[in-house]
C-alpha cells in the first residue's frame, strides 16, 4: 500500500521457477489491482492456489439495503445500545449506512473466524475502538489493538482472531474503490511528504513467518453481496515468500499528527484515508487554535456536497454533547449543522481537546438501514435547538 516489501523466499525475477529444498516447484499468485495497471503483489505458494472446490458458504453477515431517509434530519445512532450479534468477525457485522460507494457497519466479534474470508467486493477499512487481536493472511500476521485502523485490500484471503480477553468494538467501511493515502501527502516519487500527518514508520505491515497450517480448509468469498463457500485441499496459508505493494497495514489513530492553526482549520486537515466518493478524517487529542479571540470549535456550516458521519471513540467531543463512546452521528447535506448549544459559546479560550473520533465525509447521499433506525435517538435533531436561545418565544 505504501512501499514495496519483500518477504520470505522469492526468485530473482518474477515469473521464473522457484523451487523448494526437494526441487519441488512453487506456484506464483499475482494479486493485481486495476486490471494489471495498479499495485500488485506476487506470492509464491507451496500448492496451486486455484484448486478450491465450491461448498455451502454457511457464514457471512446479513446484507441489508438501506432506504433513503424519510425526513432530512440529523441522526445519532447509539451503537452501544444495539443487541450484540456476537460470533466471528465474518458473521457479526451489522450494516448501518450505505451508498453506491461504500457500506459502513459495526461489529463486536467474540470469537475467531471459523473460515478464511475473501471480500471480493471491497477494500475494507476497520477502526478498532476497543479490543485487538491478530489478522492472519498468506502474507503474514498483523497484530492490532484498540485505536488502530486496519486497511485490508480487496480480494486478500484473511482470518480474524480477536483477543478473547478483550471486549471488541469495531467500525468497518467497505469501499467499492481502492482505499489509500490522500494524494496531497505524497511527493512526486510516492514517498510521504515531510509535512504529511504521518510517516512511513507509522504503518505496520504483516509479520511474515513462512507457511503455516491452522487445519482450516474452508474459505468464504463475498462477491456481488453474496457469500460463496470453497473447500481447499491444503492450507491457503502456504506462501513461502512474496514481493509487492499490495498487503494490509495497521495504523494507530494516535500516531496521526494533527495540525492546528492561529484560527480554526477546516476538517479536511485531518484527512487520513481517501476512497472514491469519501474521505476519512481523524480527530485526535491536540492543542486548539491559538489566536486570543479564536473560537476553538467548529463553526456552523453547510457543506453542501457532503453527508458527514462521525464515530466517537471517546465520550467527549468539542462541538457535541450527549454522545458517548461508540456513538455515530449522521449530519446530511441539505441542512446546515454546527455545535450543540453552549459548545460554541464556551470555546473561546479553550486550549486543548481530548476528543478522539473518526469522520467519514461522503459525496453520495447515505441510506439508512433498519438496523440503524432501530438505534437512532429520536431526540437528536432537536437537541441542537437552544432552549434558552434568542429564538425562544417563551
Ligand atoms: Fe461538519
Q: How far is the CA of 82 from the centre of ligand 1 (A)?
A: 25
User: How many degrees, rounded to 5, is the angle at CA 61 between CA 254 and CA 278?
Assistant: 45
The pLDDT assigned to 1 comes to 65
Contact present, 66 and 369 (Cβ < 8 Å): yes
The pLDDT assigned to 123 comes to 98
**pTM recorded for the entire structure:** 0.94
Q: How far, in whole angstroms, is CA 292 from its chain's centroid? A: 37
DSSP 264: P
Q: How far is the CA of 307 from the centre of ligand 1 (A)?
A: 9
Beta bridge partners of 174: 103, 124
Low-confidence ranges of the chain (pLDDT < 50): 390-394
What per-residue string of b and e applies to 268-301 under the rule 16 or more CB within 10 Å gives b?
Answer: eebbbbbbbbbbbbbbbeeebbeeeebbbbbeee
Helix (H, G, I), strand (E, B) or coil at 280: strand
How buried is 317 (Cβ within 10 angstroms: 0-12 exposed, 13-18 middle, 19+ buried)?
buried
The pLDDT assigned to 394 comes to 30
Q: How far is the CA of 75 from the centre of ligand 1 (A)?
A: 13
Q: How far is the CA of 360 from the centre of ligand 1 (A)?
A: 10
- Note the pLDDT tens digit of each residue in 108-152: 999 999 999 999 999 999 999 999 999 999 999 999 999 999 999
Q: How far is the CA of 351 from the centre of ligand 1 (A)?
A: 21
Contact present, 309 and 328 (Cβ < 8 Å): yes
Q: How far is the CA of 34 from the centre of ligand 1 (A)?
A: 33
Q: How far is the CA of 175 from the centre of ligand 1 (A)?
A: 21
Q: How far is the CA of 306 from the centre of ligand 1 (A)?
A: 9
Q: How far is the CA of 95 from the centre of ligand 1 (A)?
A: 23
According to DSSP, the β-strands at 102-107 and 271-275 are unpaired
Q: How far is the CA of 52 from the centre of ligand 1 (A)?
A: 47
Q: How far is the CA of 328 from the centre of ligand 1 (A)?
A: 13
The pLDDT assigned to 122 comes to 98
Query: How many Cα neighbours within 13 Å face the side chain of 159?
Result: 22
Amino acid at each position: 500500500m505504501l512501499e514495496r516489501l519483500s518477504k520470505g523466499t522469492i526468485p530473482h525475477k518474477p515469473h521464473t521457477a522457484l523451487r523448494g529444498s526437494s526441487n519441488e516447484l512453487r506456484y506464483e499468485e499475482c494479486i493485481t489491482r486495476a486490471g494489471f495497471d495498479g499495485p500488485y503483489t506476487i506470492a509464491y505458494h507451496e500448492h496451486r492456489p486455484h484448486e478450491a472446490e465450491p461448498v455451502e458458504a454457511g457464514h457471512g453477515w446479513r446484507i441489508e439495503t438501506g432506504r433513503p431517509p424519510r425526513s432530512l434530519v440529523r441522526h445519532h445512532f447509539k451503537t452501544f445500545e444495539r443487541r450484540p450479534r456476537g460470533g466471528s468477525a465474518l458473521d457479526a457485522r451489522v450494516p448501518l449506512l450505505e451508498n453506491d460507494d461504500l457500506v459502513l457497519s459495526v461489529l463486536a466479534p467474540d470469537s475467531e473466524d471459523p473460515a478464511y474470508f475473501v471480500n471480493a467486493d471491497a477494500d475494507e477499512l476497520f477502526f478498532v475502538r476497543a479490543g485487538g487481536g491478530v489478522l492472519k493472511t498468506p502474507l503474514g500476521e498483523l497484530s492490532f489493538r484498540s485505536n488502530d485502523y486496519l486497511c485490508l485490500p480487496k480480494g486478500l484471503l484473511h482470518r480474524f482472531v480477536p483477543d478473547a480477553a478483550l471486549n471488541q468494538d469495531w467500525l468497518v467501511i467497505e469501499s467499492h474503490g481502492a482505499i489509500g493515502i490522500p494524494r496531497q501527502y505524497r511527493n512526486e516519487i510516492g514517498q510521504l511528504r515531510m509535512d504529511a500527518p504521518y510517516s512511513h514508520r507509522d504503518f505496520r505491515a504483516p509479520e511474515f513467518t513462512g507457511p503455516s497450517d491452522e487445519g482450516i480448509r474452508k474459505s468464504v468469498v463475498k462477491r456481488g453481496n453474496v457469500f460463496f463457500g470453497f473447500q481447499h485441499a491444503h492450507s491457503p496459508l502456504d506462501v513461502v515468500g512474496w514481493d509487492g505493494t499490495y498487503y494490509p497495514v495497521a495504523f494507530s489513530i494516535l500516531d496521526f499528527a494533527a495540525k492546528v492553526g492561529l484560527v480554526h482549520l477546516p476538517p479536511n486537515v485531518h484527512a487520513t484515508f481517501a476512497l472514491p466518493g469519501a474521505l476519512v478524517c481523524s480527530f485526535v487529542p491536540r492543542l486548539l487554535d491559538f489566536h486570543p479571540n479564536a473560537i476553538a470549535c467548529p463553526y456552523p456550516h453547510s457543506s453542501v456536497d457532503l453527508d458527514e458521519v462521525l464515530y466517537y471513540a471517546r465520550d467527549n467531543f468539542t462541538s457535541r454533547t450527549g454522545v458517548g463512546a461508540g456513538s455515530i452521528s449522521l449530519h446530511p447535506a441539505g441542512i446546515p449543522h454546527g455545535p450543540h448549544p453552549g459548545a460554541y459559546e464556551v470555546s473561546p479560550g479553550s486550549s486543548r481537546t481530548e476528543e478522539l473520533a473518526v469522520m467519514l465525509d461522503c459525496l453520495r447521499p447515505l441510506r439508512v438501514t433498519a438496523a440503524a433506525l432501530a438505534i437512532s435517538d429520536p431526540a437528536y435533531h432537536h437537541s441542537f435547538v437552544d432552549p434558552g436561545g434568542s429564538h425562544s418565544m417563551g
